[in-house]
Structure 1
Amino acid sequence: MSRPVVAGVDGSSASLAAAEEAARAARQRDRPLHLVHGFLHPLGYGVPLNPYDLGLPAPTDGAQKMLEQTARDLTGRWPGLRVEVRQVAGGPGATLIEESRRAELVVVGSRGLGGFAGLLLGSVSGQVASHAHCPVLVVRPTEEPVPTEGPVLVGVDGSESAELAVGYAADEAARRGTDLVLLHVAPTDGTATPGREGLVTDGAGTRDRAEAPDRVEAPERAGHEPSALLATAVAAARGSHPGLTVAGRTVRADSAGQALVEASGQAVLVVVGTRGRGGFTGLLLGSVSQALVQHAHCPVLVAHPYGQGH
């Protein structure tokens, strides 16, 4: 079965931006694109209020026309794109989570109207980000176009979740024909390894601080020496994708989320795991994820394993 890329669409500018990125992702993966509109009962619910009324709310002509027009626009800009459109009775969170069971990727915008209102900051965002059964691409609204140039960025902390994120990030970088940057965030708690403050690591060795004044090597932490951690992750990414340019960087910051947000300003995509440790603990529901989905300067890919929604 060819898993589709799924985008939730309601006609808002945010959802249309998400649909555009979904089209890009579908073409890169050679997958079909499914545009889905979750519609509700006129009183705001996906099921009738009368428990003896087994009927479901009907799809609307206006929504169908919006979906079909969006599909026409996308196929015009992306030749060869295969698009299907569908209205689904139900709330947006439940709709997209159910669609994710059979999807290659779910793409959402951070704001919407109707069935997808408050997609990131409200309950829907929590539902989709926490419970999807496949990776979720979040397209944040900005006044500028979605970036198309720059490296793919991924946070590294030695956890299994981060390892999965590195694999997804390497795949994305290879598809996009761009570089991959692995970032490890160390605390600014004064525990730097003596005599090492003037060095910076790139995952393959160290060099003088003067060559890269914006980064310093991190101390040992939780049993992982950062340069070794990065070297291992860089080697794994290079081994799985020969020819891919991969760099490992360590930064010291008070906030892992803020460090990633700042670094995202130079990236085309930032990839995060669903769980981590150290600077990435509780990534989906904690400060790091909230910082990224609310403030990242590029789209954010949440690296859910396939078929393992909660």
Structure 2
Amino acid sequence: MKVLLATDGSSLAKNAAELLHHLKFQQPLKLSVLTVSLGPELTIHGNPQNLTREEEEKEFVARHHAELEAMFKDQCPDYFSKLHHTGNVAQSILEVSRRIVADLIVIGAVGHSLVSRMLLGSISDRVATHAKCSVLVVRPPDKDHRPHVCPKKITLAYDGSLASREAINEMMQLTWDPDCEFSVLSIAPSYDYLMSEGVAAGVLEDEAKALEQTKGKAEYTAKQLAEKLPNTHPHVIRSQHEGEAIVRFTEHQQSDLVILGDTGHTLLHDLFLGSTTKYVLRHAPCSVWISRHHHTAEGE
């Protein structure tokens, strides 16, 4: 599996590396670590203003990459690439991910405050929005940015679509500890009766059918997963807003990770996140794995 780890050496970036290190991929990783520096300040003649600072930054990046290489030596026995670019950070990450045909980008996010959740980070947001591959946006487990351990409580947002099915298939490329708790979460539609003058019997019947179908899909999927992941349970929530329901559930469950497939809701779905995925990415209190594994399935 080809993974691109975007890192700037900060505590948030190191936290993302720790989480990736604790994930147990079933095949050796082909890991590329990328640090992108802003271009140096130039004089009017086009020469760097502070050569000492530039050299210090190169040395810092080299030490950081060496630390990561030592951390991942057992997981990456055959391939470990160290990249240091200069320029626009998000654009460089996206360009490298396409050049190496990455399966997954791992990047740190802003922490837990309401404002930081809504804004995310401009870099994380842009990468998650425009990447052609899956993206794991890592939030620290607590405000002190303590190192991550392997996620123990995982929420799988499941709607029966190809994207959500392939998200599960992508998840199953990892080996999970027996004590991990998996929640298969499906959202059944709920109509706002208060906004209408009357509710036809057919509408109530359609909503009841949709609820039963949603329960059936969640229960079937959870049963299939439970054959390999015994601690898997289905959950169905009725809501008018899928994203809000998923975020509330992850908060209530104290999930460490939420996994969902991104389909997008426009003709440009390859370039822009769907509204549900974007909402979860920006508001979830935990790390978010946005799976685009379904694009591979569609091409097979």
TM-score normalised by structure 1 residue count: 0.67
Cα separation, 1, equivalents of 2:264 and 2:214: 15
1:185 paired residue number: 187
Q: Secondary structure at the match of 1:225?
A: helix
1:253 paired residue number: 239
How far the C-alpha of 1:236 sits from its partner, in A, is 4.7
Q: Secondary structure at the match of 1:133?
A: coil
Gap change, CA 1:158 and 1:27, over 3 Å in 2: closer
1:158 paired residue number: 160
Contact 2:31 2:81 in 1 (8 A): yes
CA deviation vs aligned residue, 1:10-57 (integer Å, no higher than 9, x gap):
12222222222233347665314322112333359xxxxx9xx9xxxx
- Flag the structure with higher helix content: 2
CA deviation vs aligned residue, 1:135-168 (integer Å, no higher than 9, x gap):
1100124405446453321111122212222222
Gap change, CA 1:234 and 1:162, over 3 Å in 2: same
CA deviation vs aligned residue, 1:267-288 (integer Å, no higher than 9, x gap):
23111111268xxx99x64553
Higher mean C-alpha deviation, range 21-30 or range 260-269: 21-30
CA deviation vs aligned residue, 1:59-95 (integer Å, no higher than 9, x gap):
9433333333334444565662545422023322222
Contact 1:138 1:301 in 2 (8 A): yes
Gap change, CA 1:162 and 1:267, over 3 Å in 2: same
Alignment of structure 1 residues 154-303 onto 2, 5 Å: 154-172=156-174, 174-177=175-178, 178-189=180-191, 219-221=208-210, 225-238=213-226, 242-245=227-230, 246-265=232-251, 266-275=254-263, 285-303=273-291
1:67 paired residue number: 61
Contact 1:5 1:34 in 2 (8 A): yes
1:107 paired residue number: 106
2:28 paired residue number: 30
Structure 2: gaps (5+ residues): 112-116, 194-200, 202-206
Q: Secondary structure at the match of 2:208?
A: coil
Higher relative contact order (CA 8 A, sep 6+): 2
2:9 paired residue number: 11
Gap change, CA 1:161 and 1:155, over 3 Å in 2: same
Contact 1:110 1:140 in 2 (8 A): yes
Is 1:304 matched with 2:292? yes
Alignment of structure 1 residues 118-129 onto 2, 5 Å: 121=120, 124-129=123-128
Cα separation, 2, equivalents of 1:301 and 1:154: 10
Gap change, CA 1:105 and 1:8, over 3 Å in 2: same
How far the C-alpha of 1:104 sits from its partner, in A, is 3.4
Gap change, CA 1:80 and 1:122, over 3 Å in 2: closer
Alignment of structure 1 residues 24-103 onto 2, 5 Å: 24-25=22-23, 29-42=27-40, 60-74=54-68, 80-82=74-76, 83-101=80-98, 102=100, 103=102
Q: What root-mean-square deviation, in Å, do the aligned CA atoms of Structure 1 and Structure 2 show?
A: 4.1
2:19 paired residue number: 21
How far the C-alpha of 1:134 sits from its partner, in A, is 2.2
Identity %: 24
Q: Give 1:233's aligned amino acid.
A: T
2:198 paired residue number: none
Gap change, CA 1:234 and 1:259, over 3 Å in 2: same
Aligned pair count reads 259
Cα separation, 2, equivalents of 1:76 and 1:11: 15
Is 1:143 matched with 2:143? yes
Cα separation, 2, equivalents of 1:149 and 1:40: 33
Cα separation, 1, equivalents of 2:228 and 2:30: 28
